C-alpha cells in the first residue's frame, strides 16, 4: 500500500463538500485574507456576527464547515498525504495548493497568539476547530519531513486521536510511515511491523503490535502511552488504540515527548517475555504499595481558582499539612505560593520543562517561575485561566491524573485508574516508575 502512495506525484484533498454554493466566494475570501496576513478583525467569519449566512444550516459559519471537513480527522489520509510528492486541496471554488493553505493557518495562529487573541475568543468553537486543523497541519508537515527516520510509534503519537472506521487501521493505516516497513528500503529497526491481518480481531492486532513495539525499541516505552481503560478488551500493558486519548491530544503528545529525559530503571536489566495467555513478564524492583489516592482526577480548569484549589488539596493530601495561607476568597489573606516545597513543585512539573520543542529537567529557576505564576493566578481567582507556557507544562504533568501516597510515604502522580493496593515498581527498560494493578 505504501508503495502506491510513495509513487504519487500529487495528492488531491477534497474539502468543503458540505458548503453551500452561495458561501463559496466568502470562504475563499476569508482564506485568501488569512494568506495575506490580515488581522482576524478584518475577516468577518471570526467576528460575532457572520454575514452572509447562506449555508444550509442557518446557524452555521461557512468557515467552520470548511475546517470541519472530514479529511482533517481521518487516519487513512495521513500516510497518503505524507508519502505523496505534493498536495493540492480541491475546494468547491477551485484548487488551492497545500503550501498556500499551510501559510494561511500559520498566519491565523500568529494572530490568535498575539494581536487578535480577543477576537478569536468571540467564537470558541471556531477557534478550537481552527486550532485542531493548525495542529494537524503541523503534525503532517513534521511527519513528511521525518520520513527517512521515523518509527511508527512517533506517527501513532501524533495521529492516534484521528478516526478510523476499522480500528485495526489505527495500526495498519500508519504502517507505511515506519522506516522499517517492508514497503520502504533500508530497514533501520530490527523487527518488521506486523503485516496487515484483517482476519484478526482488533484486540489481537493491538496485542501483537504492542509486543512488537516493546521488542523493537528494546524497552517499555509503549507502556508510557498509558492507553488502557477499565473496559479494554486487551491486557493492561497493551496499547488499546480503540481508546482516543482521554485528555487533549496536545498534552498527551507533550507528556510522551519528555520520556527520553527520564531513566528510572538505570542498572536494571530489561527482560520481556510474552506467555501463551498474553501475560507480559518483565524484570523489576518493587518500591511500594499505594496506600491512598486523591478522589478527584484533574480536568482542564475553567478558572484560576480551580488550579489553586487542586494544588491545595493535593498538597494537603501529600503532607497532611493544612494550607491555611491559601484562602482564596480573600486576596488579603493570600501569603504566597512559597508554601510548596521543592519536591512538590517538581512533581507538579513532572520535573521537566520544554524550551522551543526540546525537553530538559526542571531547574531551580523553573520552580521559581512556576511558583510565581501560581501566586499570580491565586491573587486573581476569578479571572479566566491564562495558559502561560509554565502552566501548560504543569497541565501536561497532571491532567487526567490522580495523586497517590505509598505505604513508605512517597508521593507521586499516576493514571486515573490507580487504586489503593496497586503496586509501584521500577521495571527494567522503563523510563518512569510503573503502577502495576
Residues of this chain that bind Zn ion (CB under 5 A): 39, 111, 115-116
Q: Alpha-carbon torsion 75, 76, 77, 81, what sign?
A: positive
Nearest Cα neighbor of 295 from 420, 424, 411 is 420
Q: How far apart are CA 168 and CA 240, in angstroms?
A: 11
Contact 413, 282 (CB under 8 A): no
Q: How far apart are CA 90 and CA 64, in angstroms?
A: 17
Q: How far apart are CA 435 and CA 424, in angstroms?
A: 5
Contact 241, 160 (CB under 8 A): yes
How many separate helices (H) and strands (E) can be counted in the chain?
15, 12
Q: If you ran DSSP here, which 8-state letter would residue 74 be given?
A: B
Backbone angles phi, psi at 273, to 5 degrees: -135, 145
Q: If you ran DSSP here, which 8-state letter would residue 269 be given?
A: P
Contact 389, 370 (CB under 8 A): no
Q: Could you tell me the CA-to-CA distances from 257 to 225, 282, 354 in Å, in that order? A: 11, 24, 10
Q: How far apart are CA 402 and CA 412, in angstroms?
A: 9
The count of other CB atoms within 10 Å of the CB of residue 347 is: 19
Q: Alpha-carbon torsion 243, 246, 248, 254, what sign?
A: negative
Q: Is 91 helix (H, G, I), strand (E, B) or coil?
A: strand
Q: Are strands 86-91 and 10-14 parallel, antiparallel or unpaired?
A: parallel
Query: To which H or E segment does residue 10 belong?
Result: strand 10-14
Q: Is 411 helix (H, G, I), strand (E, B) or coil?
A: strand
Q: Are strands 358-361 and 352-355 parallel, antiparallel or unpaired?
A: antiparallel
Q: What are the residues facing 352 on neighbouring strands?
A: 361
Please state the length of the chain.
437
Does residue 182 come out as left (phi exceeding 0), alpha (psi in the -120 to 50 range) or beta? alpha
Q: How far apart are CA 377 and CA 337, in angstroms?
A: 10
Amino acid at each position: 500500500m505504501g508503495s502506491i502512495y510513495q509513487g504519487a506525484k500529487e495528492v488531491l484533498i477534497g474539502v468543503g463538500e458540505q458548503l453551500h454554493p452561495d458561501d463559496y466566494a466568502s470562504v475563499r475570501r476569508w482564506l485568501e485574507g488569512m494568506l495575506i496576513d490580515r488581522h482576524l478583525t478584518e475577516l468577518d467569519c471570526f467576528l460575532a456576527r457572520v454575514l452572509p449566512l447562506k449555508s444550509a444550516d442557518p446557524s452555521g459559519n461557512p468557515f467552520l464547515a470548511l475546517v470541519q471537513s472530514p479529511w482533517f480527522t481521518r487516519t487513512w489520509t495521513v500516510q497518503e498525504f505524507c508519502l505523496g510528492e505534493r498536495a493540492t486541496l480541491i475546494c468547491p471554488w477551485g484548487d488551492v495548493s497545500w503550501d498556500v493553505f499551510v501559510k494561511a493557518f500559520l498566519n491565523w495562529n500568529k494572530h490568535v497568539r498575539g494581536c487578535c487573541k480577543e477576537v478569536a475568543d468571540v467564537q470558541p468553537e471556531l477557534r478550537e476547530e481552527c486550532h485542531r486543523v493548525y495542529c494537524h497541519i503541523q503534525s503532517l508537515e513534521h511527519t513528511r519531513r521525518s520520513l527517512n527516520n521515523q518509527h511508527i510509534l512517533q506517527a501513532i503519537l501524533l495521529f492516534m486521536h484521528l478516526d478510523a472506521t476499522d480500528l485495526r487501521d489505527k495500526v495498519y493505516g500508519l504502517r507505511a510511515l515506519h522506516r522499517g516497513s517492508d514497503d520502504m528500503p533500508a530497514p533501520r529497526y530490527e523487527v518488521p511491523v506486523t503485516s496487515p491481518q484483517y482476519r484478526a480481531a482488533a484486540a489481537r492486532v493491538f496485542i501483537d503490535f504492542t509486543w512488537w513495539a516493546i521488542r523493537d525499541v528494546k524497552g517499555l516505552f509503549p507502556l508510557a502511552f498509558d492507553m488502557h481503560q477499565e473496559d479494554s478488551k486487551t491486557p493492561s500493558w497493551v496499547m488499546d488504540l480503540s481508546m482516543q486519548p482521554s485528555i487533549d491530544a496536545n498534552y498527551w503528545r507533550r507528556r510522551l515527548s519528555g520520556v527520553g529525559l527520564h531513566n528510572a530503571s538505570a542498572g536494571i536489566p530489561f527482560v520481556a517475555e510474552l506467555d501463551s495467555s498474553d501475560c507480559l513478564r518483565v524484570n523489576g524492583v518493587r518500591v511500594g504499595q499505594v496506600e491512598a489516592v486523591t478522589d478527584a482526577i484533574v480536568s482542564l480548569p475553567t478558572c484560576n481558582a480551580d488550579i489553586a484549589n487542586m494544588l491545595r488539596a493535593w498538597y494537603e493530601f501529600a503532607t497532611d499539612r493544612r494550607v491555611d495561607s491559601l484562602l482564596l476568597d480573600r486576596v488579603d489573606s493570600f501569603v504566597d505560593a512559597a508554601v510548596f516545597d521543592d519536591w512538590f513543585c517538581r512533581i507538579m512539573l513532572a520535573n521537566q520543562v520544554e524550551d522551543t520543542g526540546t525537553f530538559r529537567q526542571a531547574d531551580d529557576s523553573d520552580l521559581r517561575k512556576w511558583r510565581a505564576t501560581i501566586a499570580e493566578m491565586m491573587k486573581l481567582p476569578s479571572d479566566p485561566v491564562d495558559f502561560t507556557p509554565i502552566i501548560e507544562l504543569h497541565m501536561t504533568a497532571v491532567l487526567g491524573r490522580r495523586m497517590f501516597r505509598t505505604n513508605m510515604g512517597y508521593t507521586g502522580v499516576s493514571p486515573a485508574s490507580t487504586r489503593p493496593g496497586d503496586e509501584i515498581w521500577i521495571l527494567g527498560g522503563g523510563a518512569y516508575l510503573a503502577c502495576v494493578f
